[in-house]
C-alpha cells in the first residue's frame, strides 16, 4: 500500500506519519485516485484498510485499478454522470448509489469526493471518503414501512417516551382527535381528557403502568372541536434489556357508535314505549335508590301517585288511540312540571309515579297541586278536559319503601273517592 501524499505546507515534522496513521485507522473508507491523466480514467493510488474491508478487495488488487470495478447493474447512471461532471469541473461531489464487493454482493455507499489541487490550482488527485450505509438505509426503510403500516391501520396509534411525552401519532389518531401530528409532538396525552372521568381513574392507571402492567380500559376523551368520543384503549410498555420502561404504545379503537348504541338500548329498556317515561322496572330502581339514600344519609324523600280520572270512559267513548294520546299528553305535563332529576314513571295503565328525592311532604304536596292544575288547564279538541287525582306521602324513618308506596296509594284512593281532580295527602 502506497503512502498518502503529504501537503507541502505542513511545518510539523511528524505530520505525515500522523496523517498516515489517522487515515489507516479511520472508521470510514478512504481512497485517493489520480486526476485521470491516463486515458481520462481515474486510477486508485491509495486505499485504507476500511476501504478494503468494505469492498472485499486487497490493497494490491485495488491499486492502479479504476474505481469502476466496483460498479454493477444497480449502480445509478445518473449519480455517475453527476460525479463525472463534478470531477471534470474540479468541484466537490457528494452522493450515494449501489456498489459491488469482490464476491458480487451489493452494498449502498455514500461518497464525499474532494479535489486536491497544487499551488497553481491544478487538480492533482481526488480524495474520496466513503461509508457503507446499507444497514442505515434498510433501517430507515423499515422505519418508513412501519410508519406506513401504522398510518394504514384504522386504529389510532400513539407512541410516547418514558416521561409520557408524545413522539409519534398516526393518521388515524389525527382523524379521531382532530389534532395534527405537529401539534401534539412533545405533549402529554392528558390534553385529551374530557373531565368525565374521576381523578382516581387516572391515578389507578398511572399506578398500574408504573408497576409495569399493560392496560386495557375505556376512555371518554374530547376532540379538538370539543366533542366527546369513547375509546377502547390498550397501553403497552416497551422496556429495555434491564426492564426499565422506555416507551409507551397506545392503540385506540373508536367505539363511540357502539357505546352510544348500547346507551340507547339501555335507555330504551328503561323507558315506556308509549309515553317515553321511565317504565315500572326503572321506577322501582329509582325508588330503591332514594330509599337507600334515606336510610344511610337520613335524607327524606316523597312519592306522588297520579291517576287519570275516568280513563276507561275515554277509551270506551273515543277509542284506544285517543286514550293513548291522552296518556302521552299527561306524560308531557308531568315531565314539564317535575324538578330536574325527578323523572316521572309510568307505573301502570293510566297511573304515574313521581319519586322525589330529598323532598319534604309540604313541597311534594305543592308540586302535586301544581301538576293537578296544569293538567286541568289542558284542553283537548277531541276529548276535552282531562283531570288527575293524586296521592302524596313522605318517607318516615324506619318505614320500608313498600309501606310508603302503600300509604301513597291509599291517599290516591281517597282523592278519587272524594270526587277526583284533587290531591290527598297521607300524614
Which is catalytic among the residues 85, 350, 369, 378? 350
Contacts for 384 with CB less than 8 Å, ≥ 6 apart: none
Q: In terms of DSSP bridges, do strands 344-348 and 351-357 run parallel, antiparallel, or are they unpaired?
A: antiparallel
Picking from 320, 386, 318, 381, the residue whose alpha carbon sits closest to that of residue 352 is 386
- From CA 220, how far away is CA 205, in angstroms rounded? 14
Asked whether the beta carbons of 391 and 412 are under 8 A apart, the reply is yes
Q: Which residue has the cell 321511565?
A: 278
Instruction: Give yes or no: 350 in active site.
Output: yes
- From CA 32, how far away is CA 297, in angstroms rounded? 92
Q: Which residue has the cell 390534553?
A: 191
Asked whether the beta carbons of 82 and 129 are under 8 A apart, the reply is no
Strand partners, 426: 393
Asked whether the beta carbons of 388 and 375 are under 8 A apart, the reply is yes
Picking from 408, 308, 309, the residue whose alpha carbon sits closest to that of residue 356 is 408
- From CA 286, how far away is CA 288, in angstroms rounded? 6
b/e per residue, 223-259, with b = 16+ CB within 10 A? eeeeeebbbbbebebeeeeeeeeebbebbbebbeeeb
Residues annotated catalytic, as ranges: 350
Amino acid at each position: 500500500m502506497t503512502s498518502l501524499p503529504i501537503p507541502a505546507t505542513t511545518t510539523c515534522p511528524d505530520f505525515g506519519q500522523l496523517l498516515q496513521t489517522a487515515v489507516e485507522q479511520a472508521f470510514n473508507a478512504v481512497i485517493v485516485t489520480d486526476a485521470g491523466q491516463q486515458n481520462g480514467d481515474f486510477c486508485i493510488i491509495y486505499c485504507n484498510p476500511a476501504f478494503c474491508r468494505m469492498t472485499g478487495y486487497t490493497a494490491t488488487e485495488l491499486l492502479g485499478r479504476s474505481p469502476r470495478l466496483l460498479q454493477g447493474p444497480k449502480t445509478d447512471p445518473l449519480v455517475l454522470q453527476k460525479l463525472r461532471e463534478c470531477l471534470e469541473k474540479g468541484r466537490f461531489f457528494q452522493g450515494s448509489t449501489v456498489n459491488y464487493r469482490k464476491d458480487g454482493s451489493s452494498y449502498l455507499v455514500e461518497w464525499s469526493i474532494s479535489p486536491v489541487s497544487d499551488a497553481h490550482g491544478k487538480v492533482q488527485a481526488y480524495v474520496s471518503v466513503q461509508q457503507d450505509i446499507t444497514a442505515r438505509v434498510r433501517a430507515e426503510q423499515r422505519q418508513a414501512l412501519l410508519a406506513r403500516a401504522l398510518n394504514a391501520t384504522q386504529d389510532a396509534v400513539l407512541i410516547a417516551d418514558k416521561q409520557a411525552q408524545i413522539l409519534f401519532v398516526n393518521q388515524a389518531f389525527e382523524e379521531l382527535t382532530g389534532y395534527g401530528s405537529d401539534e401534539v409532538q412533545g405533549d402529554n396525552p392528558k390534553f385529551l381528557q374530557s373531565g368525565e372521568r374521576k381523578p382516581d381513574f387516572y391515578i389507578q392507571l398511572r399506578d398500574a403502568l408504573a408497576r409495569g402492567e399493560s392496560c386495557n380500559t375505556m376512555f371518554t376523551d374530547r376532540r379538538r372541536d370539543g366533542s366527546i368520543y369513547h375509546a377502547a384503549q390498550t397501553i403497552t410498555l416497551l422496556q429495555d434489556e434491564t426492564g426499565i420502561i422506555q416507551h409507551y404504545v397506545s392503540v385506540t379503537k373508536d367505539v363511540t357508535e357502539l357505546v352510544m348504541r348500547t346507551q340507547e338500548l339501555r335507555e330504551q329498556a328503561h323507558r315506556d314505549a308509549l309515553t317515553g317515561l321511565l317504565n315500572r322496572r326503572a321506577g322501582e330502581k329509582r325508588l330503591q335508590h332514594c330509599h337507600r339514600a334515606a336510610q344511610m344519609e337520613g335524607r327524606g324523600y316523597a312519592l306522588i301517585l297520579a291517576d287519570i280520572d275516568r280513563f276507561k270512559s275515554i277509551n270506551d267513548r273515543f277509542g284506544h288511540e285517543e286514550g293513548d294520546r291522552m296518556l302521552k299528553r299527561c306524560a308531557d305535563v308531568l315531565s314539564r312540571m317535575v324538578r330536574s332529576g325527578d323523572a316521572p314513571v309510568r307505573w301502570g295503565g293510566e297511573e304515574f309515579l313521581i319519586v322525589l328525592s330529598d323532598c319534604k311532604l309540604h313541597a311534594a304536596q305543592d308540586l302535586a297541586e301544581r301538576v293537578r292544575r296544569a293538567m286541568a288547564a289542558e284542553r283537548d279538541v277531541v276529548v276535552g278536559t282531562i283531570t288527575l287525582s293524586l296521592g302524596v306521602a313522605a318517607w318516615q324513618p324506619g318505614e320500608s319503601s313498600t309501606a310508603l308506596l302503600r300509604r301513597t296509594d291509599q291517599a290516591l284512593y281517597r282523592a278519587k273517592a272524594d270526587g277526583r281532580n284533587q290531591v290527598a295527602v297521607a300524614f
